[in-house]
A and B are shown apart, each in its own frame.
Chain A
Amino acid sequence: MAKLVSLHNSVHQELRICPEKAESHGAELNMVPVMLSEFLKLAVQFPIALTKNKETGKFVCVAMLGFAEKENLFWQHAKLDTLYTPLHISRQPFFLGRNEAISNLAADAGDQYVVCFDTESDSLVSEGEELLFTHTGEETPYLRKIKAMLAELLDGETHVKAFVESLLELDLLTSMQLDITFSNGESQRVNGMYTIDEKKLNALSGEAVVKLHSAGYLAYIYAMVISTGQIYSLIQKKNARLSLAGLNV
């Protein structure tokens, strides 16, 4: 279970993070929430789809990493074998927390959030990469990079929400029917995933297309449509894993 503590330059001056180990937070994720700004980078490797948040029932965009629960097919030899690692994983072990004391005042919007980190994370190391603060308490480039990622995530959630609303408004979503049989004969049904309904997309009125285009959504929509084909490379990964497992027997 993650235990979050807010980051402070005097208290955490000696804190070191091993970014490679931070990736292990994604070892057992079969999907991760993704932001629109990541779509083009993700589409070359992952299927991008939508799923519903279990608590709220609201749609979120996700990259699929595996089929079964806790199955991350990109997690190999204790590291993530990806061309691009989704922000949701690369920002680990850092999170944004609401700063209740400040948010009550009419302070800058940026001040309403504080950077927190997971004190239980395996990526906390006593020596090696990366320090968060210099000996004078200044933020290191590494921490600045992390903070930029956290800001992108925060910002990204609003964009995803607006994007999903547009898709729903135009009735462009459809549930994905995935019944996969792997090379060893094992089959799996993947439930709860949604994608763009291409028929409805193609039948959109000119007016609706212009609206999507001016919002900048068309590229994301097509990235999602094309990325669906990555399900085959995901199946291939799974088959490769299964045949390796078969050899070991």
Chain B
Amino acid sequence: MEKPVRSIVIVGGGTAGWITAGRIAAEHQHNSAQAVQVTLVESATIGIIGVGEGTWPTMRNTLMKLGISETDFIRECNASFKQGAKFAKWVNGADDDFYYHPLMLPQGFQKGDLSDAWQRAGLAQSFSEAVCYQEAVCEHGLSPKLITTPEFASLANYAYHLDAGKFAGFLQKHCTSKLGVKHVLADVTGVVSAENGDISAVQIERAESKTPDQITGDLFVDCTGFSSLLLGKHFAVPFVDRSDVLFIDRAIAVQVPYADEDSPIASHTISTGQQAGWIWDIGLSNRRGVGYVYSSRHTTETEAEATLRNYVGAEFSGLSPRKIPITSGHRELFWKNNCVAVGLSAGFLEPLEASALVLVELSAEMIAEQLPACRSVMDITAKRFNETFLYRWDRIVDFLKLHYILSDRKEPFWVDNRKPESIPESLQALMSLWKFRAPGDHDFTSNNEVFPAASYQYVLYGMGFKTDMNWRSASETERLFAQEQFALNERAVRQALDTLPSNRELISKIKQYGFSAI
């Protein structure tokens, strides 16, 4: 067999770099001659962006694969539990305008669909409230589990809110001490190319000695953030601008302290519609992370800061807001030759629905699990990787856009968002279908879909979309099934409210006692 892929070099050490390094090392790095060596080279001077604070439930699996203890993770990354997103003021901007996109499927979703029955019943309850008990859990600020629930197990499905800066440091410690990842502190100054165009090495200048050196490798992972040093700069893979669909191009973020250490922690991301964008509000265990993402075509920086100040309240004056430019879009390819980009170097979209970290996890997983054995099969893996992730970016763009096109808000930002020329054809086609039937799994073709049909249902019906199902009649069996599911959901709500502690209470207990592994 030709020379196998043995040495993997990760360039950049944010969460993307360390998650990828860890996943590959955990999967392939064993104490044997056939082991793969993972090296992560990181600049000592370039900081990380570090505003990605919301995860998906997939993060639980990622942490487990890395062999991390959930208790340590929660304690050291100031993490708390996230059970979905509450979208406030996205439909008409009124104070009582909100809906939920919880992390659990609608009651009985595997057996039957409730959206039709919910519409026909004309219930006073919103869709998310009628079909998923997690909304009530979030509204009451409750946690998704008990102190007696083992690590990573759940009563209600959950993800995390975390401090991205602390998380990168935590992963670094774990990957270097437990998984044998080699950590090199150096600036990457250049690329050494092989005859076939591959990267044979990166030239570096070591942080301490300031001496030039180079690191050779069989596969290079570009985790250099927005600068996209290898894929974007070296290989000049073009950037696909998606700002024609998603208008957000600026973020202004602050860290808001809690009133005291017993202040409640929201159990979900709160995302509140504003004049020219929306504000995220994420509760960690020690502070909140709050930020306004907006379109600079629809508001000014001064106005945006005033909007954020207005949301945060009096405390804002003591805080130092961080401003981050955003370019919505992604690279035309993610894997070229022997280089694959993960994280911001691959692309970025506004933080709606926390798609950044999950794309990192999905990329790291695919690289780790499908690691090409040798160079001659790498192009096949690369092609598959590119197809998979182009599909995923497209689906995410569609799903994010969906949140905007159903709004009735009258500000120019929202009106422009509804213009047909800004809506991808793929989404327009789905919207046409959904006029007459609810989103279902067959609307999507991947076996590893990023957003399931249920997520589309939560947003569509949460925002008041009407599917006209009068062309078919509901059977008695369907009616009875729906009745049963609504009743089961009510029971689940009562049970959850009776048993679950508050998010704050559980976080305090984890700090004091910790979870058991079993």
Contacts and interface: CB of A to CB of B under 8 A. Distances in A.
Q: Main SS of chain B's interface residues?
A: loop
Contacts of A59: 516
A216 interface: no
Interface in B133-149: 146-149
A56 interface: yes
A57 B509 contact: yes
Nearest to A57: B147
Interface string B279-320: 000000000000000000000000000000000000000000
Contacts of A192: 148
Interface in A2-52: 52
Interface in A123-182: 168, 171, 173-175
Size bracket of the B interface: 10 to 19
Nearest to A164: B516
B471 interface: no
Interface in B8-46: none
Contacts of B146: 54, 57
Nearest to B147: A57
A57 B516 contact: yes
Nearest to B515: A57
A173 to B, nearest CB: 6
B148 A54 contact: yes
Interface residues of A, number: 15
Given A57-B148, A192-B148, A52 B509 contact: no
B147 A168 contact: no
Contacts of A57: 146-149, 509, 513-516
Contact of B513 (A56, A171, A174, A175): A56
B324 interface: no
A174 B512 CA distance: 24
Nearest to B148: A52
Nearest to B149: A57
Nearest to B512: A56
Interface in B145-195: 146-149
Nearest to B517: A168
A173 B509 contact: no
B94 interface: no
Contacts of B123: none
A194 interface: yes
B518 interface: yes
A58 interface: yes
A55 interface: yes
A175 B518 contact: yes
22 contacts: A52-B148, A52-B516, A53-B148, A54-B146, A54-B148, A55-B147, A55-B509, A56-B512, A56-B513, A57-B147, A57-B148, A57-B149, A57-B513, A57-B514, A58-B513, A58-B516, A168-B516, A168-B517, A173-B518, A174-B518, A175-B518, A194-B518
